Amino acid sequence: MVASTARKLDELLLSDYNHSHDYGGVSGARLAQRLYELSKIGLTEENGSYRIGFSAEEQQAKLLVAKWMTEAGLDVTQDGAGNIIGRLAGKQADLPVILSGSHVDSVPNGGHFDGPLGVLAALEVAESWKKTNHQPEHPYEVIIFTDEEGARFNGGLTGSRAMAGSIEADKQLGLVDINGASFQQVIENIGLSVPSFFAAKRDLSKIKAYVEVHIEQGKRLEKENLPVGIVSGIAGPSWLRITFTGAAGHAGNTPMDDRQDALVAAGELIAAIPHLPPSVSPTAVATVGKLQVHPNGVNVIPGKVEMFVDIRDIYEDKVSELVQLTIDKAEAISAKYGITLSYEQTLKVSPMLVPDDMKNLLTVSMDEMGIKPLYLPSGAGHDAMVLGSHIPSAMIFARSKDGISHNPAEWTTLDDCVQSVHLLKKMLERLDKN
């Protein structure tokens, strides 16, 4: 029953496909078939994907794509972090390599496009070059990054961070997964080792650029009726842990004018936070996603509330400004209610702005395709954000139906998938000539 449900992915993708998009060696049918084949690995009862990082399912998906890479004429290797790399030789072997790819791991019961589309789009470009007997000047690599989603260790971007050499060994080796296994145990179970993992760091001076295709995970392209868009930047998250400490008391015997209710203070801050980002930046966002109320009794005035605020923007200075505004607001509220405030920044990831020259190459390519360029930020993290701290990086978004992601209902039409391949192909060819 599950297999027949999965079959619908292949059939639905092709059911309304405009075959006029098959040109320049690009094949919509091949892309649809490969998306379908990947969807069968870790398929859930809800027709979703369950391929968490460092799992047998992730490895099976990697090996399947590696087989397709080999058939496309790529030289395939796996580095010590488990990243799969398919290399196409360039006419000039000494030129720096151009990279493209994404990941094949998923969140539990995720969708079939987040990650696989980027990997298969990069591979489809290599297939198109093989079909048209084109060899780039630069070496070209299609890459599958390990554990992008981070569902196993509540982290993520593991493969790209290992490649960039931006992982702290002590912190990584101290991780324990969702089943209680250590990081070392987990990677050894799939044939990797701690020394090999940290040896995955590459000489990034030998990489010219990285370009990644991904579904939008939002509705802006859908609202503009556009198949693809240009990512202007990737927001880096900053997390604030804010604690209001008042006084717990009996809900029946404590007068309203003699309370130090920590939850009332937290609630006022929660209500204020949505109004702060627009005052800082049109692309800034802030979210309270987690609360811990103490003592959490029905008939007890909350004496302490710990809340977490997720703050993001593509501009680092605006993130800092929004963090300070949030703290200022919390301080004013704590003074108003006569309760104690403490706060800590528990996470800070620098955002990545896509370089103007990379955006310009995509703009020219979209103009050539007759598609209006739309620039949009990414609020979610991607491997491009990691590499973008070291080398020129860009992202292409493909339209996502209803903006749904990390869900079995995730959907991008085959027309839009193939249009993202053509845009990637044009971009890579411009990079190769530039």
Binding residue per annotation — 114?
yes
Cα–Cα distance between 26 and 35 in angstroms, integer? Answer: 15
Token pair for 99 = 């990279």
Cα–Cα distance between 217 and 381 in angstroms, integer? Answer: 11
Alpha-carbon distance values, 351 to 92, 145, 159, 315, 382 (Å): 34, 20, 18, 6, 11
Binding residue per annotation — 149?
yes
On whether the CB atoms of residues 354 and 395 are closer than 8 A, the answer is yes
**How far out from the chain centre does Cα 202 lie?**
21
Cα–Cα distance between 164 and 201 in angstroms, integer? Answer: 6
Residues 6+ apart with CB under 8 A from 23: none
The count of C-alpha atoms lying within 13 angstroms of the C-alpha of 105, restricted to the half-sphere facing its C-beta, is: 27
Cα–Cα distance between 309 and 322 in angstroms, integer? Answer: 11
Q: Tokens 């971009």 — which residue?
A: 427
Q: Of 1, 7, 116, 100, whose CA–CA distance to 51 is shortest?
A: 116
Binding annotation? 103, 114, 149, 214, 406
Binding annotation for Zn(2+)? 103, 114, 149, 214, 406
